[in-house]
């Protein structure tokens, strides 16, 4: 009997069996690594994350934190004796210290709006952190303990006053605080009605680097500068002087350079992220990847690794180079760069490296790796030989139990000759000579990238008997600046044709695809495109649009990014060319829709507000079209990746059942 015949198919509830190991940090002596494991408690249907440590020699693993809370962002002190981490065990996120050799965790911060992003000083005596501070208050302001919370009007003076996942900002800004470890004394380093993000310390511990948009009109100017703040003199120097948007800075150990990520926003929303160096002796900055047409960041799309952080640029002790993540052609891998601009691949295969920690010796690293058939595990990586060894085994039982669909990657020619990368997954239980329905999946962004990573949603569809086609149409990142920029001003144009070209190709080249049983779905931009597709063609038997855009005119005024995203992406606004906004709006095509359309939307989605789904539903119903509207309570734009676990399962069930009914 074939081994796969003894395995079961993936189920929607298997989401409970999928964990994420991430935020790995090598100890200063390189002998161990701490990391976070986030999972869902099936009994409570709530997320839980705890810290684990693994001895890299013996592979012995120990759990360091316990309970039903979220423990995250672990950071070793320079001597390796203490671990700082963030926990919500007191309801708000606060920073705690844990002795590595044993003992209870001690709460270090008590800010009433919480603390995050701990960064150790070089001598281990202080920590930088971020803290939410309301305008006119400080980190030391105590929360008012009113027995009854009175309703208060929200006074709005700015265009940007809400954010998806955060709600109404209410004049609260991210400030930087300095914590003295021994005394617990805290000092607020930044003030005012601006938000600041701490990046790093100078090697001698006398200064810190942070990024901020300190323009007079941050609603209109979107640059972000890097500043060096001297701890003693309190003097600040702007290193980048309004030249673009920069962050994730890292100071070389010898103090000569500051390496950072960013761009001069030549292509606004779409400009590829590059590596920059500031030379302190010459007092000049320059881009060392100017001619390298790739994104120096992880732009991969999935539904399992949304907790990951950008590791930035990780220097080696000799200050001659650094390691970083890079996205290209559907893959995310590890590269090494030097101050002279030499760029060398270290780990770049058909996979998704979603996590990276490098020891200062430049010889060893810990990476998180996922593929279409691997949910994600941590590995040690020899940076010289490329050898790697698995150190977590979160999914061994799951992988032994289920049969997963692989993803075949191929490249086709679009109608106008552009290269398009696609992936095709066969349905579970596939038999040669049989015909199967096909679902076209469309990613959001649109400036993101499908790739060689695990997607639970895709596996549930293949387990339900569908083939799955996914593609990176023009507008996607990972294929260079021109490709990513091509969608701007052309939403629903050649990007739509790219998707149809891919569908035509697989129907022509793969005998198992039943061209009479096609479905389509996608979220955000993918939801926009799903709406657009069913207004253009009747070739799909069913469609599911998720957290979508249907009307660019109203989106302009209701989304948390509406006005500037619309102006940059559609290249029009409400005044100069409102006709263009309507031209690109799927709502305009509602009377042409003959495909049964399921509309999924979160009630608290501020990115693509739920009124976008409401308008489309009302228009379709008024025209007598086959449609249904599912509203997810308290769900933000990120429902499919980090939303309420039960609602995530409900969402997948609705998608599957809709396709079962009509495809």
- List, by residue number, the catalytic residues: 524, 637
**Number of other residues whose CB lies within 10 A of the CB of residue 361:** 12
Burial class for 539, CB neighbours closer than 10 Å (0-12, 13-18, 19+): middle
- CA 428-304-448 angle, 5° bins: 100
Cα 217 to Cα 158, 159, 222, 264, distances in angstroms: 9, 10, 9, 18
Helix-strand-coil split of the chain, %, nearest 5? 20, 35, 45
- Residue 3 sits at φ, ψ, to 5 deg, of -60, -40
Question: Could you tell me if 449 and 477 are in contact, meaning their C-beta atoms sit under 8 angstroms apart?
Answer: yes
**Distance from C-alpha of 377 to C-alpha of 635, rounded to nearest angstrom:** 28
Q: Is 651 helix (H, G, I), strand (E, B) or coil?
A: helix
Contact 15, 41 (CB under 8 A): no
> Is the distance from CB of 269 to CB of 486 less than 8 angstroms?
no
SS3 251: strand
Q: How many whole angstroms separate alpha carbon 321 and alpha carbon 288?
A: 12
Query: Counting runs of H as helices and runs of E as strands, what totals does the chain give?
Result: 11, 40
* Burial (CB count <10 Å: 0-12, 13-18, 19+), residue 199: buried
C-alpha pair distances (Å), 126 with each of 82, 177, 252: 12, 10, 19
Helix (H) or strand (E) holding 528: helix 525-536
Q: Tokens 């005394």, residue?
A: 183
Residues 6+ apart with CB under 8 A from 270: 447, 477, 481, 484, 485, 488
Distance between CA atoms of residues 536 and 419, nearest Å: 23
Which residue is it, tokens 């060392």?
288
- Alpha carbons 191 and 442: distance in angstroms, whole number: 42
């Amino acid at each position: 009997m074939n081994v796969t015949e003894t395995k079961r198919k993936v189920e929607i509830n298997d989401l409970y069996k999928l964990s994420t190991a991430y935020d790995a940090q090598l100890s200063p002596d390189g002998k161990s690594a701490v990391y976070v494991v986030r999972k869902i408690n099936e009994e409570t249907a709530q997320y839980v994350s705890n810290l684990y440590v693994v001895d890299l020699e013996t592979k012995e693993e120990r759990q360091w934190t316990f309970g039903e809370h979220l423990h995250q962002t672990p950071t070793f002190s320079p001597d390796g004796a203490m671990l700082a981490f963030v926990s919500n065990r007191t309801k708000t996120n606060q920073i705690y210290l844990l002795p590595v050799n044993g003992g209870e965790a001690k709460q270090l911060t008590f800010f009433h709006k919480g603390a995050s992003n701990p960064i150790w000083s070089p001598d281990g005596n202080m920590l930088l952190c971020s803290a939410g501070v309301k305008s006119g208050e400080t980190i030391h302001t105590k929360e008012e303990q009113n027995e009854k919370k009175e309703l208060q009007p929200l006074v709005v003076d700015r265009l940007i006053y809400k954010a998806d996942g955060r709600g109404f900002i209410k004049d609260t800004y991210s400030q930087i605080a300095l914590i003295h470890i021994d005394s617990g004394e805290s000092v607020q380093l930044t003030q005012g009605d601006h938000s600041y993000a701490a990046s790093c310390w100078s090697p001698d511990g006398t200064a810190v680097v942070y990024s901020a948009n300190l323009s007079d009109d941050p609603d209109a100017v979107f640059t972000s500068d890097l500043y060096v703040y001297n701890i003693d003199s309190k003097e600040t120097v702007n290193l980048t002087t309004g030249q673009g948007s920069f962050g994730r800075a890292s100071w070389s150990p010898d103090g000569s350079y500051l390496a950072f990520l960013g761009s001069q926003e030549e292509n606004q929303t779409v400009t590829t992220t590059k590596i920059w160096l500031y030379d302190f002796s010459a007092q000049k900055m320059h881009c060392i990847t100017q001619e390298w047409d790739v994104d120096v960041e992880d732009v991969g799309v999935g539904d399992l690794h949304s907790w990951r952080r950008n590791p930035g640029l990780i220097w080696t002790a000799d200050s001659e180079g650094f390691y970083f993540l890079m996205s290209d052609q559907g893959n995310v891998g590890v590269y090494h760069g030097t101050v002279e601009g030499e760029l060398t691949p270290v780990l770049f295969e058909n996979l998704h490296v979603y996590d990276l920690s490098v020891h200062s010796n430049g010889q060893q690293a810990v990476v998180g790796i996922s593929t279409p058939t691997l949910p994600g595990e941590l590995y040690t990586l020899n940076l010289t030989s490329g050898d790697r060894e698995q150190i977590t085994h979160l999914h061994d039982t799951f992988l032994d139990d289920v049969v997963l669909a692989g993803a075949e990657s191929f490249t086709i020619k679009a109608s106008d000759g552009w290269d398009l990368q696609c992936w095709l997954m066969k349905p579970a239980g596939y038999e040669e000579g049989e015909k199967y329905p096909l679902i076209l999946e469309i990613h959001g962004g649109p400036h993101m990238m499908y790739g060689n990573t695990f997607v639970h949603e895709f596996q549930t569809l293949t387990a339900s008997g569908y083939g799955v086609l996914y593609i990176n149409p023009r507008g996607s990142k990972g294929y260079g600046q021109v490709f990513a920029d091509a969608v701007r001003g052309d939403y629903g144009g050649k990007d739509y044709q790219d998707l149809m070209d891919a569908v035509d190709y697989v129907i022509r080249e793969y005998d198992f695809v039943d061209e009479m049983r096609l479905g389509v779905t996608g979220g955000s931009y993918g939801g926009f495109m799903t709406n657009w597709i069913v207004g253009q063609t009747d070739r799909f038997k069913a469609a599911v649009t998720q957290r979508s855009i249907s009307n660019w005119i109203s989106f302009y005024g209701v989304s948390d990014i509406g006005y500037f995203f619309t102006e940059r992406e559609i290249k029009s606004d409400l005044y100069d060319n409102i006709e263009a906004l309507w031209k690109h709006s799927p709502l305009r095509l509602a009377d042409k829709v003959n495909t049964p359309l399921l509309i999924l939307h979160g009630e608290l989605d501020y990115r693509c507000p739920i009124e976008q789904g409401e308008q489309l539903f009302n228009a379709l119903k008024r025209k007598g079209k086959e449609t249904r509207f599912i509203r997810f309570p308290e769900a933000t734009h990120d429902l499919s990746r980090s939303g309420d676990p039960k609602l995530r399962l409900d969402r997948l069930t609705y998608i599957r059942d809709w396709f079962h009914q009509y495809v």
